[in-house]
Amino acid sequence: MKTINWAFLFLMGFASLWAIDEKPAKPVAIAGIARGAYFGQPLPGETPVPFAPEVLNSISPWVEATDFSPDGSQFLLAVGDASYSSAKLYHSKCVDGDWTPFVAAPFAADFTFSHEPHFSTNGTHLTFTGKKASGQQDIWILRYVGDSWGVPAALPAPLNSDGKEWRGSTTADGVVYFGSERERPGVNQLYKGYRDANQQLVVEKLPPPMNTNSYEGDPCVAPDGRFLVFYSARDGQSADLYVSFRDGQGGWKSPVILGPDFNSASDEYGAHLSADGRYLFFTRHSAQGNRIYWVAVTAIDKLDPALEKR
């Protein structure tokens, strides 16, 4: 989820992490990668369309999470599986307009689960969801400077807990939204973290109608905090994408389910924004495999009921 930025780094207290050199890994076979930004794909309009299916399908039918660096020169993806039980990060970079073959992300070599890559808005840091052979599934952060990856460090408590943590997204003023199973294993819910007046980290569970007695997760907040896209299984049938807009009093309006162009009988989840905030990406998961979609963010803004009063 986007967007991790310097305010987020200040919030976490990880402004400086040592860098290490990138190590080679075994390339993943691919059928050929298009040149330039977004793999040369035509930009989407206000109806979601598949993102670079030829490229992603050549890597795996189970590409589950993706992110480009702000300058468009780095790309990370996670390959999952049919049961949501595994994920591994892979990396490619654009050199003179050409994308290199994907290799296993060097910083995640000692992780048994690595997922949900997320660049900072200035491109110098990356967060991801990860688990080592021992320990919990946490949100991790590392530096990326001068073509070198840093050593991952787990975010501090109470952002991480004894439960599984999932995908974070942050506002420009440093409020981070994320998913967590800390209250009940296997049941993901929406949380936010921030520093209070005493500069102490505080984590709060979002109240209804954002959280229900269902499964909610993958919060994607606009940098200015005007909307929050997330998945929910509140209909009892599948995970669908919803959006909530600010109510003008510091809270959130009742979530609105996104339309049939976004949702299907399959699971939709993993919403995140491009670094410039212009495009929303999300994942559709079916028995045959995953597909990444993208759409212009103006399609989300048009759903704000406040626009009808203007």
| Predicted local confidence at residue 309, as pLDDT | 52
Tell me the DSSP string of 261-301. TT--SSEEEEEEE-TTSSEEEEEEEETTEEEEEEEETHHHH
H-helix or E-strand containing 11?
helix 6-12
Q: What is the four-CA torsion angle of 260, 276, 96, 27, rounded to 10 degrees?
A: -50
Whether the ω angle into residue 209 lies within 30 degrees of 0, i.e. cis, is yes
pLDDT for the residue numbered 122: 86
What confidence score (pLDDT) does residue 117 get? 96
Instruction: Give the span between the Cα atoms of 93 and 76, in whole angstroms.
Output: 9
Architecture of domain 6-309: 6 Propeller (2.120)
pTM, entire model: 0.89
- 8 phi and psi, to 5 degrees? -65, -45
Structure tokens at 81: 């599986």
Q: What is the pLDDT of residue 303?
A: 95
In the prediction, which pLDDT does 34 show? 62
Helices and strands counted in the chain (H then E): 3, 23
What CA–CA distance (Å, rounded) separates 23 from 106? Answer: 6
Instruction: Give pLDDT, residue 250.
Output: 87
Digit-by-digit pLDDT tens for the chain (310 residues) are 333 333 444 444 443 333 333 333 444 545 455 677 899 999 999 999 999 999 999 999 999 999 999 999 999 999 999 999 999 999 999 988 889 999 999 999 999 999 999 998 888 999 999 999 999 999 999 998 878 899 999 999 999 999 999 998 999 898 999 999 999 999 999 999 999 999 999 999 999 999 998 999 999 999 999 999 999 999 999 999 999 999 988 899 999 999 999 999 999 999 999 999 999 999 999 999 999 999 999 999 999 987 755 4
Q: Chain-centre distance of CA 287, in angstroms? A: 22
The structural domains of the chain, with segments of one domain joined by +, span: 6-309
CA 232, 233, 234, 238 torsion-angle sign: positive
Q: Which tokens in the block code for residue 168? A: 């974070």
Answer for the pair 152, 107: CB distance below 8 angstroms, yes or no: yes
Nearest by Cα to 290 from 308, 264, 260, 309: 264
Three-class secondary structure of residue 56 per DSSP: helix
pLDDT of the residue at 32: 53
In whole angstroms, give the CA distance from residue 9 to residue 127.
10
Question: Are 122 and 71 contacting, i.e. CB atoms less than 8 angstroms apart?
Answer: no
* Token representation of residue 166: 């999932």
Q: Residue for token digits 């059928």?
A: 31
